[in-house]
Structure formats: structure tokens, C-alpha cells
Amino acid sequence: MSDLRATQERHAQDVVNGNVAGLMGDFTPNAMAKVMALAANPITATRFEIKDLGNNEVEISYIGEKTRVVWSKWVENGGKWQIDDVKEVTGS
């Protein structure tokens, strides 16, 4: 199984890079509707910071002209980590 923190960092970098193809495997079916809602207002950022909240939950701050914070809950699924729940916490 892949390392959770490494997976979260790769995921956040894919968001910053706009690598949609790389992101698609990061979500369980349960999270897809929420992800599509977030994607309606794309994140533009030049860097990110990850705050570990414990219990396989993180807040990722995507930092650019504005900072957007996205909370996510990760689960192990078929030998890899995926996001099972997600929501935007703040945008500034």
C-alpha cells in the first residue's frame, strides 16, 4: 500500500499542476459528486500546505492569488489511498 502522506502530497501537486488525469484515480465513487461541484470553480495555486488533522483527514491549503482550503477524508481502497469525502472549508 502506498504511503498516505506521499499520496496526499502527490495529489496536492497534481491540483497545483492542473493534472486532471492524475487526479481521477484519487476519488472513491462516494466523493465524485462533491469533487465535480468543487471542479466547477477550479483551484488556481502555485503551492500548497497540508495540515494533518488525524484520523486520515487533512486540510490542504492551495495558495496563489487567493488561498482555498479543502478538507478531505482518505480511505484505503484496493491497496491505494483515495479521498472518500471532500469539501471546501474556506476561500480568501
On the question of pLDDT at 1 being above 90, the answer is no
Global confidence as pTM: 0.92
pLDDT, one tens digit per residue, over 30-73 is: 999 999 988 888 899 999 999 999 999 999 999 999 999 999 99
Q: How far apart are CA 87 and CA 68, in angstroms?
A: 11
Q: Are 44 and 55 in contact (CB under 8 A)?
A: no
Contacts of 36 (CB under 8 A, 6+ apart): none
Residue 92 has what pLDDT?
54
Residue 39 has what pLDDT?
86
